[in-house]
Every structure is written in structure tokens, then in C-alpha cells.
Amino acid sequence: MNTFSLPFFSPLIASLREITGPDHTLTHGDLSAWQQDCRGRTAGVALAVVRPAHTDQVARVVRACALFLAQHPGCGLGIVPQGGNTGLVQGSTPDGSGRQIVLSLQRLNAVRHVDTANLTMTLEAGCILQTAQECADQAGLLFALSLAAKGSCTVGGNLATNAGGTQVLRYGNARDLCLGLEVVTASGDTWHGLRGLRKDNTGYDLRDLLVGSEGTLGIITAATFKLYPRPASQLCAWGVVPSLPAAVRLLGLAHQQLGAGLTGFELMGQLALGLVARHFADLNVPLWQDGPYCVLLAYSDHRPESVALGVLLECLESALADGCLSNAVMANSLAQAETFWRIRESLPAAQTREGQNIKHDIALPVSQVAQFVQTTDQRLQQTIAGLRMVTFGHLGDGNLHYNVQAPMGVDACQFVLNHEETVNRIVFDAVMALGGSFSAEHGIGSLRVLQLQRYQSPVALGMMQAIKKALDPLHLLNPGRVLLTSHSSHSSHSSYL
Ligand SMILES: Cc1cc2nc3c(=O)[nH]c(=O)nc-3n(C[C@H](O)[C@H](O)[C@H](O)COP(=O)(O)OP(=O)(O)OC[C@H]3O[C@@H](n4cnc5c(N)ncnc54)[C@H](O)[C@@H]3O)c2cc1C
């Protein structure tokens, strides 16, 4: 590895070992859990995996790296922050250069404070999302962020990616739920911004800038989140809709009749549900063969279940009368509601079991979704006959996972290798033409850097570059992610598995 070989970095590794203790700066053994992306598509090589235990150690690690990089400009040292490594855009794993350290936040996992009167909870960045939900629940409150990776993603990673999930419709995404942050900057200073305030107009909003910056502007070490009263009733229904325009009409009707109680509205295409039926036969997917799409509708209410049930039933009855719903089942127990959600959450895994595929995480105005799907399905089929559209997502907030699976009998890996670029171009051009976004909730990472360059306005890109330069002049933090820089080297990309 030319002049900057491993021994060259030995003094830095020795300092990191001193900071974290020898057992928590790893350079040998099986590091694949930190080096491979969660979809198993790429693997990089870490200079070391560094696992600090608290904020002060994070700050000292960053300071040591910043000093080393300042003394050896061009050595390619970078820090890749990592939470649960469930991100889907290759942002949390090192490249192939062997010069990036993975800074794992997993050991910073304490619940620092629950303030039930202020309806806030302060958590360290490595706290697992499900733990946060359980902790709020024990206090009789609701931690409103929820996504299928909740058992392994961390709240720091959720903020770094501005995660969305299944309840954005009612509670917003991670940014909307965050009131304050503690952040280690690229120079190793600590910003103590852990406020629990709902009003605070004191200068530029650094919190909102750091949320969604994917580890490129600072390292989130803790955060204060909003909590909500736990609803007295949480109900869900599973329905079949005759078409996508009908699903959009049903959404409008549900907004009207359920108001703020409508917490989730998920769409699942027949092909997608067919994959769950095939790969998770024990889940007994209801009604999936009865129409082109099913929807999962979640309703919560602060009134008792008997009242809430009446409201939801009335809404479903008017939808049946309108024709935008052909059939529906209500979950009649908590266990059945959980099964409905497990089916929805098994969609990505079922797709993976079916084979490699081309994923898209797009957002559109809800009013444009049906037109987009109709014309883009057609365009894709005209380009590659027989490909299978696995469409599902959070229709309630206009976010679709518009995924493309190889035609039956075609080698999936080869299909992805041969067609990914063409398929992406068709999909993203169509999304942008309808005023949408090519990355709704997963972020940019290293997977979508070129698309950001292509589709974002030059003015916006210029501001982003200026912010990066001001906050991380050495390009130490997550280099090569989000923004294309002169420091991004194509020869050092992770290798495809
Ligand atoms: C089955 C499945 C379902 C999913 N469903 C959804 C969904 O519905 N909605 C959604 O939005 N996402 C979803 N995701 C994607 C993923 O779970 C989210 O992006 C999640 O927020 C990532 O959290 P993490 O802790 O795993 O972060 P990681 O994957 O470790 O990191 C993600 C990014 O954040 C940076 N980062 C991590 N921690 C920090 C930190 N403390 N400070 C600064 N930067 C940091 C990393 O460098 C990287 O760029 C899903 C993933 C899977 C596997």
C-alpha cells in the first residue's frame, strides 16, 4: 500500500489503544461485521475498529486522528462513524483503502434521562431504537420513531440518516423528533447542545444541519428526543385496493375521517407480498391474491378501544362504499396486529431471499405516485422484458421502495451488474421530472453520491461543499460519502461481494 503502509499508522493506532483501552481498538481478527454493508453487497478494509465508551473518549479519538491527518496531509486517514450498520446506502463501512477507521458508537448506549413532564428522553447515540421505544413505554410514553431495523439500528444512526419509517405521517421523521444534540466536531471539540426546548431561535439551527449529515459534519454522541403520550388504542386494518389511484383515494378518505389518528399507511404490491408468502410461509399473508395492492392502515386514539373501533369501522365502511377498498380485515388482537406488521417488515428480507435486486427509495407528492408507477413500470418493461416490480412503501408520506427484481429464471447478480445503471437512470429521471426525490429516507452514503451530483442544483451543491469545508476542512469525517470531493478516490472503493 505505497508510502502510507500499515506501520506508518502504528503511532496513531497506539494512541487510539491508549484512549479506548487495548481491547477496544481492533486491527486483527474477524472485523467483517464492521466492514461489510448490511445488504452484503460491499466490503471494505478498516485500518482499525475503534469502540470508545463515552463522549470524552470519542472526542479524544477524533482529536488524535485530526492531529495525525494535519501532520500527514494526503495520508488518506478518515473516520467512518458507525451505529448499527443497518444503513442501506453504504455510508457506515470503510472503503477499500485500509486507511479509514470505523468509529463504532455501540458502547455509548446509556439512557441518560427521561423527563416525563417535559415529554423528552435523552439517549446516547449507540442506544438501540427498540430499547428507546421500550424505555419510553415503561414510562407510559411513546417514542414515535419506528422502522423494521429497530432491533439493531441505533438512535445516533437514525439521526445521522434522518430516518423515516412507519409513523412519519403522524409524528414526522427523526429530525422532527429531535430537540437537542451532543456532537463531537471534526476537530475533536464537543458541542453540548442537549436542549429539551420546543422553541429556541438562537442563531443558525446546528441541530437540523447535523441531523441527516450522515457522519460527514460531526459525530453525534447523544440526543434529546420528543416523547408523546401513549395512545389508549392502537388499531390496524389490512385491506385490498383495486388499483393504485384507489389506494391514494383511500388515503385521502382516511385523512379526512381519522384526522391526526391516522399514524401509518403502508402500501404493498402483489408481487412483493407474493415473495413474503413464498419465503415466510408461516406468516399467512392475508388477501394478497385478491387485488394488485394491499394496504396496512394504522390508527391510534386517546379514547378507549370501543370508541376508536367504531371510528375505524366507519371509515372502512365508507371506503368500501366508495369502491376505493375492495375488502378488509381488522386485527382483532395485539398478536394479529403484530403479524400484520411483521408481514410488512419482512418485505425487504423476502426480497433479499429472492436474490439481488435494484432498490430505489423515492419520494413523490402523493398526487403523483400513481402516474409515476404506471409510466415507469411501462418504460422499464419496454427496456427489459419480464423484470419484476417489487413495489411497497410508506404511501402515507409519498415514499415508495420501488424495487426491481430480475425476470424469473435470470441470474440475479448478473442482472444487477448488467442493468443497474440503466434502470436507475429511468427511475430517477422519472422521479425528478415529477418533482420527487431520489432518496427519501435512506440518504446518500457512497451509493448515491453520483446521483446527488447529477440531480441536485449546483447552487445547493455549492452551499453543501462550503458547509463541509467550514466544519471539516481536513475531510476527516466520512470522506467520500454524500459529497464528491477531490479526496474521493475511485481506486479505494469497497469491493463488491
Ligand atoms: C430491514 C431494514 C429496514 C429499514 N427500514 C427503514 C425505514 O423504514 N426507514 C428508514 O429511514 N431507514 C430504514 N432502514 C435503513 C436503516 O435502518 C436506517 O438508515 C437507520 O437509521 C440506520 O441506523 P444505524 O444505527 O444502523 O446506522 P449505520 O448504518 O451504522 O450508519 C448510517 C449512517 O449514519 C452515520 N452514523 C451512524 N451513527 C452515527 C453517529 N452517532 N454520528 C454520526 N454519524 C453516524 C454512518 O456513518 C452512516 O453514514 C432499514 C434498514 C433495514 C436493514
Q: What is the pLDDT of residues 221-261, one digit of tens each?
A: 999 999 999 999 999 999 999 999 999 999 999 999 999 99
Q: How confident is the model at residue 76 (pLDDT cuts 50, 70, 90)?
A: very high
Residue of 54, 79, 147, 166 to test ligand 1 pocket, by largest number of atoms within 8 Å of CB: 147
Q: Same structural domain for residues 290 and 429? A: no
Q: Same structural domain for residues 468 and 427? A: no
Residues 6+ apart with CB under 8 A from 104: 34, 49, 50, 51, 82, 83, 126
Residues 6+ apart with CB under 8 A from 212: 159, 160, 161, 162, 174, 175, 443
pLDDT at site 272: 97
Q: Same structural domain for residues 366 and 456? A: no
Domain residue limits at 418: 355-433
Query: Cell for 156?
Result: 445516533
In a domain, 440, yes or no: no
Mean pLDDT, to the nearest integer, of 380-386?
96
Which amino acid appears at position 151 of this protein?
G
Q: Same structural domain for residues 1 and 126? A: yes
H/E/C letters for each residue in the chain? CCCCCHHHHHHHHHHHHHHHCHHHEECCCCCHHHHECCCCCEECCEEEEECCCCHHHHHHHHHHHHHHHHHCCCCCCEEEEECCCCCCCCCCCCCCCCCEEEEECCCCCCEEEEECCCCEEEEECCCEHHHHHHHHHHCCEECCCECCCCCCCEHHHHHHCCCCECCHHHHCCHHHHEEEEEEECCCCCEEEECCCCCCCCCCCCHHHHHCCCCCCCCEEEEEEEECEECCCEEEEEEEEECCHHHHHHHHHHHHHHHHHHEEEEEEEEHHHHHHHHHHCHHHCCCCHHHCCEEEEEEEEECCCHHHHHHHHHHHHHHHHHHCCCCEEEECCCHHHHHHHHHHHHCHHHHHHHHCCEECCEEECCHHHHHHHHHHHHHHHHHHCCCCEEEEEEEHHHCEEEEEEECCCCCCHHHHHHHHHHHHHHHHHHHHHHCCCECECCCCCCCCCHHHHHHHCCHHHHHHHHHHHHHHCCCCCECCCCCCCCCCCCHHHCCEEC
In a domain, 28, yes or no: yes
- Predicted model pTM: 0.95
Q: How confident is the model at residue 3 (pLDDT cuts 50, 70, 90)?
A: low
**C-alpha distances in Å from residue 108, one per residue of 25, 53, 54, 124:** 15, 6, 6, 6
Q: Same structural domain for residues 131 and 22? A: yes
Q: Same structural domain for residues 94 and 194? A: yes
Q: How confident is the model at residue 334 (pLDDT cuts 50, 70, 90)?
A: confident
Percent of the chain scored above 70 by pLDDT?
Answer: 97
What spacing in Å lies between the alpha carbon of 107 and ligand 1's midpoint?
17
Q: How confident is the model at residue 375 (pLDDT cuts 50, 70, 90)?
A: very high
Domain end marker among 297, 320, 348 = 348
Of 393 and 2, more confident: 393
Residue of 82, 191, 275 to test ligand 1 pocket, by largest number of atoms within 8 Å of CB: 82
Count CB atoms within 10 A of the CB of residue 178.
Answer: 23
Q: Same structural domain for residues 162 and 25? A: yes
pLDDT at site 490: 43
pLDDT at site 30: 95
pLDDT of residue 487 exceeding 70: no
pLDDT at site 485: 76
pLDDT of residue 480 exceeding 90: yes
Q: Same structural domain for residues 257 and 299? A: yes
Q: Same structural domain for residues 196 and 93? A: yes
How many structural domains does the chain have?
Answer: 3
* Residue whose C-alpha is closest to residue 441's, from 111, 251, 214: 214
Q: Same structural domain for residues 426 and 314? A: no
Using one digit for the tens of pLDDT, what is the confidence trace for 115-163? 999 999 999 999 999 999 999 999 999 999 999 999 999 999 999 999 9
Mean pLDDT, to the nearest integer, of 429-456?
96
pLDDT at site 323: 97
Percent of the chain scored above 90 by pLDDT?
Answer: 93
In a domain, 438, yes or no: no
Is the CB of 128 within 6 Å of ligand 1? no
CATH code of 405's domain: 3.30.70.2740
Is the CB of 154 within 6 Å of ligand 1? yes
In a domain, 410, yes or no: yes
Nearest residue by C-alpha to atom 45 in ligand 1: 215
Q: Same structural domain for residues 88 and 163? A: yes
* Residue whose C-alpha is closest to residue 121's, from 276, 16, 228: 228
Query: Cell for 76?
Result: 488518506
What spacing in Å lies between the alpha carbon of 481 and ligand 1's midpoint?
14
pLDDT of residue 170 exceeding 50: yes
Q: Same structural domain for residues 108 and 224? A: yes
In a domain, 289, yes or no: yes
Is 413 within 8 Å of 354 (Cβ atoms)?
no
pLDDT of residue 42 exceeding 90: no
Domain end marker among 289, 318, 348 = 348
Q: Is the dihedral of CA 61, 149, 169, 445 positive or negative?
A: positive
CATH code of 497's domain: 3.30.465.10
Domain end marker among 333, 348, 363 = 348
Calculate the CA dihedral of residues 417, 369, 157, 341 and round it to 10 degrees.
-100
Is the CB of 213 within 6 Å of ligand 1? no
In a domain, 443, yes or no: no
In a domain, 25, yes or no: yes
pLDDT of residue 451 exceeding 70: yes
* Residue whose C-alpha is closest to residue 394's, from 150, 173, 132, 161: 173
In a domain, 366, yes or no: yes
pLDDT at site 299: 97
Is the CB of 148 within 6 Å of ligand 1? yes
